[in-house]
């Protein structure tokens, strides 16, 4: 069985959905598991609705646009005589309204109940469209299958329960395809959970791992994995092949092509991951697998909205292991990821994504022990497999606050 994942851009309008259908139909007869994201930027729209609602501001216009966007895709895909899909869509909008107006004991829980509608709506539309196009496929609710703990907004997968559910719901020798939502699952109490933004890639990897799939294909609007984001860098090159290790490291440093959790389950089972362009489906793309590289073109990863925080000791003591362990204990407790760090005699500096509420609590927790300084609005640039000439070109004219070089990687934190 093969797994295919289609992201928001690949189902962003009626023509994109038709193109997606053509891709599925060109894959031959054997059964596929197809994972779909929310259409276009609708997850962002739902986040905006939620933010306005939680700030007691008027969100109706954003919600109306959200509904119009999906309705107009349906109008372009279906005849108005196809009542069922319009009824289903209407029902989903009613459910969304209810979700928005329920009382919740926790805002992260509310987030997951509301945000999941992006995927619930997109799969409902795509399923009906595939059906209309003569492609038999069973619509699975990922919440019956992807079982997580109750960490809202970042559900941790319960692998045993999930594997059991996958195997009881999916027949690998089935004559029809399966279609399901990316990004969402449920805990043991039946609450909807999300897996973290852009989590549909991870969903595809979870299914592939549980099914011992032959391969996973992620369809994107780029020709494969490039050595830099083309919005940031002019002369990008595509990697034809990448090892699991290289791909995982790229996601760690912030390359946004694939969700960081995607690689591991695939690498463990040696399931190849193909990243291909839905605009040019017959082109090669990038194959990520169990391979060794001799040399690899440098990869450039630009991570904006970074913040540099320095913890300085006050009492002429030094930054020693016990001080570091106090700091790291809190980073772990608040689940804050450190993107780069450096230690000196009296100060320890970390680069993290720009502070949110959690970071502010962490800083407050450490104020009694350290003087704390921070700079905001920074950019972290990582060059994997760097060449010195490239690094000095990138560095030219930049104000560098922190810089590090290892044998393979170069990183600098600059002002913007
Ligand atoms: N729709 C979700 C998001 O935009 C998940 C995904 O697209 O992978 O983050
Ligand atoms: Mg996406």
Using one digit for the tens of pLDDT, what is the confidence trace for 69-114?
999 999 999 988 889 999 999 999 999 999 999 999 999 999 999 9
Ligand 1 atom at shortest distance from the alpha carbon of 195: 5
Neighbours of 15 (CB within 10 A): 11
Q: What's the whole-number mean pLDDT along residues 12-28?
A: 97
Residue closest via CA to ligand 1's atom 5 equals 198
The confidence score (pLDDT) of residue 80 equals 82
Percent of the chain with pLDDT over 70: 100
Residue closest via CA to ligand 1's atom 6 equals 198
- How many angstroms does the Cα of residue 299 sit away from the middle of ligand 2? 22
Q: What's the whole-number mean pLDDT along residues 324-351?
A: 92
C-beta 40 within 6 A of ligand 1: no
C-beta 153 within 6 A of ligand 1: no
- Confidence band for 158, pLDDT divided at 50, 70 and 90: very high
Residue closest via CA to ligand 1's atom 3 equals 198
Cα–Cα nearest to 237, from 225, 221, 226, 223:
226
Q: What's the CATH architecture for 299-415?
A: 2-Layer Sandwich (3.30)
C-beta 38 within 6 A of ligand 1: yes
C-beta 289 within 6 A of ligand 1: no
pLDDT of 356 over the 80 cut: no
User: One fold for both 2-220 and 299-415?
Assistant: no
The confidence score (pLDDT) of residue 215 equals 98
Name the maximum alpha-carbon separation found in the chain: 79
C-beta 265 within 6 A of ligand 1: no
- How many angstroms does the Cα of residue 144 sit away from the middle of ligand 1? 19
- How many angstroms does the Cα of residue 233 sit away from the middle of ligand 1? 24
Residue closest via CA to ligand 1's atom 8 equals 198
Global confidence as pTM? 0.91
Query: What digits encode the pLDDT tens for the residues 262-315?
Result: 999 999 999 999 999 999 999 999 999 999 988 899 999 999 999 999 999 988
Domain positions in the chain are 2-220, 299-415
Instruction: Copy the structure tokens of residue 182.
Output: 């990316």
Going by the DSSP 8-state scheme, the letter that residue 279 receives in this structure is T
Q: What is the mean pLDDT of the chain?
A: 95
Question: Mutation test of ligand 1: which of 4, 7, 202, 204 has the most ligand atoms closer than 8 Å to its C-beta?
Answer: 7
- How many angstroms does the Cα of residue 196 sit away from the middle of ligand 1? 8
Q: What's the CATH architecture for 2-220?
A: 3-Layer(aba) Sandwich (3.40)
CA 79 to chain CA mean position, Å: 34
- How many angstroms does the Cα of residue 38 sit away from the middle of ligand 2? 7
Integer-rounded Cα radius of gyration of the chain: 23
3-state SS of 46-95?
A: HHHHHHHHHCCCCCHHHHHHHHHHHHHHHHHHCCCCCHHHHHHHHHHHHH
- Contact present, 378 and 348 (Cβ < 8 Å): no
Residue closest via CA to ligand 1's atom 2 equals 198
Q: How far apart are CA 205 and CA 224, in angstroms?
A: 17
- Contact present, 95 and 67 (Cβ < 8 Å): no
- Contact present, 261 and 202 (Cβ < 8 Å): yes
Query: What digits encode the pLDDT tens for the residues 38-71?
Result: 999 999 999 999 999 999 999 999 999 999 999 9
- Confidence band for 317, pLDDT divided at 50, 70 and 90: confident
Which ligand lies nearest to the CA atom of residue 195 in the structure?
1
């Amino acid at each position: 069985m093969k797994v295919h994942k289609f992201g928001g851009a690949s189902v962003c309008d009626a023509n994109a959905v038709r193109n997606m259908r053509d891709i599925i139909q060109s894959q031959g007869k054997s059964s596929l598991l197809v994972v779909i994201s929310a259409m276009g930027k609708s997850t962002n729209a739902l986040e905006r609705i939620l933010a306005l609602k939680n700030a007691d501001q008027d969100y109706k216009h954003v919600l109306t646009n959200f509904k119009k966007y999906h309705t107009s895709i349906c109008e372009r895909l279906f005849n108005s005589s196809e009542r069922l899909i319009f009824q289903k869509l209407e029902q989903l909008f009613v459910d969304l309204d209810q979700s928005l107006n329920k009382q919740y004991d926790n805002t992260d829980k509310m987030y997951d109940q509301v945000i999941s509608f992006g995927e619930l709506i997109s799969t409902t539309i795509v399923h009906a469209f595939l059906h209309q196009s003569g492609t038999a496929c069973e619509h699975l609710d990922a919440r019956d299958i992807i079982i997580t703990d109750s960490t809202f907004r970042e559900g941790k997968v319960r692998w045993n329960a999930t594997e059991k559910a996958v195997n009881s719901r999916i027949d690998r020798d089935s004559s029809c395809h399966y279609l399901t939502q990316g990004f969402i699952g449920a805990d043991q109490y039946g609450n909807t959970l999300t897996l973290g933004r852009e989590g549909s890639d991870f969903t595809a990897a979870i299914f592939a791992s549980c099914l011992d799939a032959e391969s996973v294909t992620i369809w994107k609007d780029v020709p494969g994995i490039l050595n830099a984001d083309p919005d940031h860098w002019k002369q990008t090159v595509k990697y034809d092949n990448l090892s699991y290790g290289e791909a995982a490291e790229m996601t760690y440093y912030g390359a946004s092509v694939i969700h960081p959790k995607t690689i591991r389950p695939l690498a463990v089972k040696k399931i190849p991951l193909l990243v291909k362009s839905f605009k040019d489906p017959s082109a090669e793309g990038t194959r990520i697998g169990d391979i060794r590289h001799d040399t690899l073109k440098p990869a450039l990863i630009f991570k904006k909205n970074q913040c540099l925080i320095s913890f300085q000791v006050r009492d002429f003591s030094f930054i020693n292991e016990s001080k570091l362990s106090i700091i790291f204990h809190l980073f772990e407790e608040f689940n804050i990821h450190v993107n780069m760090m450096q230690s000196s005699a009296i100060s320890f500096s970390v680069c993290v994504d720009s502070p949110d509420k959690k970071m502010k609590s962490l800083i407050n927790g450490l104020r009694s022990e350290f003087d704390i300084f921070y700079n905001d609005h920074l950019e972290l640039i990582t060059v994997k497999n760097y060449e010195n000439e490239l690094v000095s070109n990138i560095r030219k004219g930049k104000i560098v606050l922190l810089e590090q070089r290892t044998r393979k990687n170069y990183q600098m934190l600059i002002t913007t």
